A = this chain, B = another copy of it.
């Protein structure tokens, strides 16, 4: 195969300067249409692809976006990444994966993140399920580095952020159980230091309140999102005196719901006959457990997609901004709209997937709230 072409080769072949080729490649407006076309034809013929590395250096910001993922053992991570990849595939950007593995990469905290910033390989960072690293991500944001968080955040802050509408999703799940006649509905929470856990809990409370049912603290137990903690929670709930036990459980994650199923199986509790069960997440395996799990589906792929889009728009916006900073009399300086720097926080609607585990017979109810703050 022929030697890799450079922009210089193309310029030569087209009989123009490198600058012009560059202009065409970057879709600048000021190029003679016929010249543009000729250059594009040659680029096509030669299969020329400009060097991302060199372009990044010269442009002073790369077309790479970093994606920070926690352990891949969370089942939604692949889905989200998939959405991210899909959105990025539509752009000239590429995706650099930074995974916070337990061992490698220091203590999975600031080090990695500082390194990401410092090596300035990527032009922005998408942080998926930031648990502890959240605070570091927030710091980056405060330094003005483009950052978007997906699906969680520890602390309230003004970091751009995508998530499902956890509260509404939970509300609908519990409301569904209430409609089915349940009155003693327990909730297995996620870790309460996570914002999403608190939101789901809020939704749970709100639904009960709407039915005029007071929240019974003995029916609310904290879990860790994992199956095991779901089992333990079930254990706790079923140690309650006879009449105080729940007739339904709303678990804040599907995995914890699986734990409940396992516990129920061991103890001869029939689902849904003796206990109705609803999970949260809508991971694919929930359709295949016995009994199939009713659950609140989060639009993970869509969250990934939206996150990527938002980040890229931030990156490009940041660049426009920067371009105008020099005080010299830019000709079109007035073109710069103040471009509201407002907080971007996007909530995506969840949908309730009704399956056998809650004892209802409907097929699928879909909510449709979608709000952008």
Q: Which residues of A contact B (CB under 8 A)?
A: 1, 4, 47-54, 56-57, 62, 64, 67, 71-72, 77-79, 81-82, 85-86, 89-90, 94-99, 101, 103-105, 114-115, 118-121, 143, 227, 258, 262, 265, 285, 288-290
**A96-B96 in contact (CB<8A):** yes
A293 to chain B, nearest CB (A): 12
Is there an interface contact between B90 and A81, defined as CB atoms closer than 8 Å? no
Q: What's the Cα separation between A35 and B114 when bound, in Å?
A: 26
Q: Give complex CA distance A6, B1 in Å.
A: 37
Top 3 A-B pairs, shortest CB-CB distance: A89-B104, A49-B118, A85-B99
Name the residue on B nearest A81 (C-beta).
Answer: B72
Q: Please name all residues of chain B whose beta carbon is closer than 8 Å to the beta carbon of A89 when the two chains form the complex.
A: 99, 101, 104-105
The answer on a CB contact under 8 Å between B121 and A103 is no
> Is B115 a contact of A103 with CB atoms below 8 Å?
no
Flag if A79 contacts B85 (CB, 8 Å): no
Min CB–CB distance A297 → chain B (angstroms): 16
Shortest distance from the beta carbon of A102 to any chain B beta carbon, whole Å: 9
**Inside 8 A of A288's CB, which chain B residues have their CB?**
227, 258, 262, 289
Query: Are B85 and A78 interface neighbours, CB within 8 A?
Result: no
Q: Are B86 and A82 in contact (CB under 8 A)?
A: no
Whether A95 contacts B94 in the complex (CB less than 8 A), given A53-B56, A78-B77, A258-B288, comes out as no
Query: Which residues in B have their C-beta under 8 angstroms from that of A81?
Result: 72, 97, 99
Q: How far is the CA of A177 from the CA of B50 in the complex (A)?
A: 57
Q: Which residues of the other chain, B, contact A290 by a CB distance below 8 angstroms? A: 265, 290
- Integer count of this chain's copies in the complex: 2
Residue numbers in B under 8 Å from A114 (CB-CB): 47
Are the C-beta atoms of A103 and B86 separated by less than 8 Å? yes
How long is the Cα–Cα vector from A290 to B95 in the complex, in angstroms? 38
Whether A121 and B78, one on each chain, are in contact in the complex, defined by CB atoms closer than 8 angstroms, is no
- The residues of B that contact A95 with a CB separation of less than 8 Å are 96-99
Contact in complex: B85, A101 (CB < 8 Å): yes
Q: CA–CA, A170 to B49, complex, Å?
A: 45
The answer to whether residues A119 and B82 also contact, given A1-B143, A97-B95 and a CB cut-off of 8 A, is no
Residue of A67, A71, A120, A265 most packed against chain B (CB within 10 A): A120
Judge whether A104 and B121 touch: CB under 8 Å. no
Interfacial chain B residues near A51, Cβ < 8 Å: 57, 119-121
Q: How far is the CA of A260 from the CA of B77 in the complex (A)?
A: 28
Q: Closest CB of chain B to A105's CB: distance in Å?
A: 5
In the assembled complex, the Cα of A307 lies from the Cα of B96 at a distance in Å of: 18
CB nearest neighbor in B for A47: B118
Shortest A275–chain B CB gap in Å is 17
Contact A90/B104 with A72-B81, A97-B97, A143-B1 known, Cβ cut-off 8 Å: yes
Residues of the B chain whose Cβ atoms lie less than 8 Å from the Cβ of A86: 99, 101, 103-104
Contacts of A56 in B (CB 8 A): 53
Q: Chain B residues with Cβ under 8 A from A77's Cβ?
A: 78
CA distance A79 to B288 in the complex (A): 21
Given contacts A96-B64, A96-B95, A99-B85, A53 and B143 within 8 Å (CB-CB): no
CB of A361, distance to nearest CB on chain B (Å) = 19
